[in-house]
């Protein structure tokens, strides 16, 4: 027989199947730890392939982004009715920045609103006003904050509509810029997140724009991190406190040690 004519010779026996290996046998589970600015610090688990050869599990975990509801992060009890209902429509993004043992230590990466909340705010007979501001925090984070607000009826108003004039909209946007810049640029990222949760800036904008046109439902609807400073492990450990790797108990020398008996002869 001529060489190369029978194509089955090089392929081995027909019908033999490759052994199926369960991919989960080579994976490990890691805990996701949120910063201690939230009530719940252990927020979930993630899978990764074990370290093998040149592929390191830690490198595969670093940079992963987790999206969680603020209601889950700040839940005091398992009964959802007892928790703050305003937390349910905020989505928090956390990024894994360091791996300590089986714990993935995360840092705040962004915030957004759920689409159903945004849709419930938009109604007829009112003006929607939006503004985005780029702010740099004291610890070097460059953030973009998106603000949203709606006009409301003045006291004793008879007219059904509450449309603002273009000059009033410009003045309101200017006030939004001033308040956000003042509040966000005077604090670090941790303090800024603590301001975002109770909606401090939204209430300040409502007060500042009262003389131009009364507003309602003023929120910082979205936060994006445009640029982050150089990674600092010390600051990350401060944010997590006791969430880092368990190093065990301190060994006291001589606590359980007994002197061996002296033999008269060997």
For residues 27-42, give the mean pLDDT.
90
More confident residue, 6 or 115: 115
C-alpha 217/C-alpha 199 separation (Å) is 10
Rg of the chain over all Cα atoms, to the nearest angstrom: 29
C-alpha 142/C-alpha 110 separation (Å) is 12
Q: What is the pTM of this model?
A: 0.78
Which one, of 252, 227, 51, 59, lies nearest residue 144 by Cα? 227
Is the pLDDT at 243 greater than 50? The verdict is no
Using DSSP's 3-state secondary structure scheme, residue 252 falls into coil
Is the pLDDT at 189 greater than 60? The verdict is yes
pLDDT band at 245 (very low <50, low <70, confident <90, very high): very low
pLDDT of residue 54: 87
Kindly tell me the burial class for residue 88, based on how many C-beta atoms sit within 10 Å of its own C-beta (0-12, 13-18, 19 or more): middle
Chain segment 123-136, per-residue pLDDT in tens = 999 999 999 999 99
Q: Where are the alpha helices (DSSP H) in the chain?
A: 57-61, 70-73, 115-121, 166-184, 189-196, 200-208, 233-240
Is the pLDDT at 6 greater than 80? The verdict is no
C-beta of residue 152 within 8 angstroms of C-beta of residue 126: yes
With both helix axes pointing from N to C terminus, report the angle between 166-184 and 189-196 in degrees, rounded to the nearest 10: 130
pLDDT band at 24 (very low <50, low <70, confident <90, very high): confident
Average pLDDT value over all residues in the chain: 85
pLDDT band at 216 (very low <50, low <70, confident <90, very high): very high
Chain segment 39-91, per-residue pLDDT in tens = 888 889 999 998 888 888 889 999 999 999 998 888 876 655 566 677 789 99
pLDDT of residue 74: 86
């Amino acid at each position: 027989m001529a060489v190369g004519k029978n194509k089955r010779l090089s392929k081995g026996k027909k019908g033999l199947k490759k052994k199926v290996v369960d991919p989960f046998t080579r994976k490990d589970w890691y805990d996701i730890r949120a910063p201690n600015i939230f009530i719940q610090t252990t927020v979930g688990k993630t899978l990764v392939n074990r370290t093998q050869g040149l592929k390191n599990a830690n490198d595969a975990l670093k940079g992963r982004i987790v999206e969680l509801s603020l209601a889950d992060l700040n839940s005091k009890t398992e009964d959802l009715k007892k928790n703050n209902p305003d937390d349910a429509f905020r989505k928090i993004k956390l990024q894994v920045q360091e791996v300590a043992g089986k714990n993935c230590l995360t840092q705040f990466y962004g915030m957004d609103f759920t689409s159903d909340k945004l849709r419930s705010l938009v109604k007829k007979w009112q003006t929607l006003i939006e503004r985005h501001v780029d702010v740099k925090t004291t610890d070097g984070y460059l953030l973009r904050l998106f603000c949203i607000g709606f006009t409301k009826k003045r006291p004793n108003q008879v007219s059904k509509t509450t449309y603002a004039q273009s000059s009033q909209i410009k003045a309101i946007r200017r006030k939004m810029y001033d308040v956000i810049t003042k509040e966000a640029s005077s604090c670090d990222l941790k303090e800024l997140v603590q301001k975002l949760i109770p909606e401090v800036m939204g209430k300040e904008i409502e007060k500042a724009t009262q003389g131009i046109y009364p507003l309602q439902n003023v929120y910082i609807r979205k936060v994006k991190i445009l640029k982050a400073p150089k990674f600092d492990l010390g600051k990350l450990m401060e944010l997590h406190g006791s969430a880092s790797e368990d190093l065990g108990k301190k060994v006291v020398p001589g606590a359980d040690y007994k002197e061996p008996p002296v033999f008269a002869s060997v």
